[in-house]
Amino acid sequence: MAKAAKTAIKKDPKMAAEAKNWTKVIKAVRSPKTGAYTFKEQIVHKDKVKDFLAQK
């Protein structure tokens, strides 16, 4: 399925240019109850990465 998505982006240059503006951000969050780490991941616009990482 990933190959089909890549092919679709290559066919439309406008879509490929827009896709470069998005980033997958992964943040480690520690559970206050158990102390174990979990990971919160989200796809955000490249201008909003610092805002996402600053959230609690």
Q: Give the tens place of pLDDT for each residue, 4-18.
A: 655 655 677 777 778
Q: Which two tokens stand for residue 18?
A: 């827009």
pLDDT of residue 38: 94
The pLDDT of residue 28: 94
What is the reported pLDDT for 3?
60
For 3-54, the pLDDT digits (tens) are: 665 565 567 777 777 888 999 999 999 999 999 999 999 999 999 999 999 9
Q: What is the DSSP letter of 4?
A: H
DSSP class per residue in 16-53: HHHHTTEEEEEEEEE-TTT--EEEEEEEEEGGGHHHHH
Q: What is the pTM for the complete model shown?
A: 0.61
Report d(CA 27, CA 24) in Å as an integer: 10
